[in-house]
Amino acid sequence: MLVIVMLALMVGGSPAVEGAVKKKAAKRQQKDALLERYDVNHDGTLDAEEKVAVEKDFLDRFDKNEDKKLDKDELDAVRQEVAKQAATNLRKKKK
């Protein structure tokens, strides 16, 4: 399940016209946004326990039809939320 979410996050986001560098930066921001929220012990990675929490949180927040899976539309909402979070973090850092 989480693999699907991660995959969607990797694939989605920036349009193909954008440069690879920009795309990479955007991905890193999105990853940072996830880590900021879910890396409870701040070791820079999501361990098994933290991933379970991510999955649960995503399902809680985005599984609109409550089938315990995230379909394409629901994953779109996840992507938008993570992108938004990444943008917010970026603004905070810039000040």
Shortest reach from residue 89's CB to Ca ion, in Å: 17
For Ca ion, the binding residue among 36, 39, 55, 81 (CB under 5 A) is 39
| CA 67, chain centre distance (Å) | 20
State which of residues 41, 49, 92, 93 lies at the interface with Ca ion (CB under 5 A): 41
| Residue 62 or 87 having the CB closest to Ca ion | 62
Q: 81 near 8, Cβ under 8 Å? A: no
> Does residue 43 interact with Ca ion by CB under 5 A?
yes
Tell me if 95 contacts Ca ion by CB under 5 A.
Answer: no
Q: Alpha carbon of 11 to those of 26, 54, 61: distances in Å? A: 11, 18, 21
Given its phi and psi angles, is residue 60 left (phi above 0), alpha (psi -120 to 50 degrees) or beta? alpha
Q: Which residues bind Ca ion (CB under 5 A)?
A: 39, 41, 43, 47, 63, 65, 67
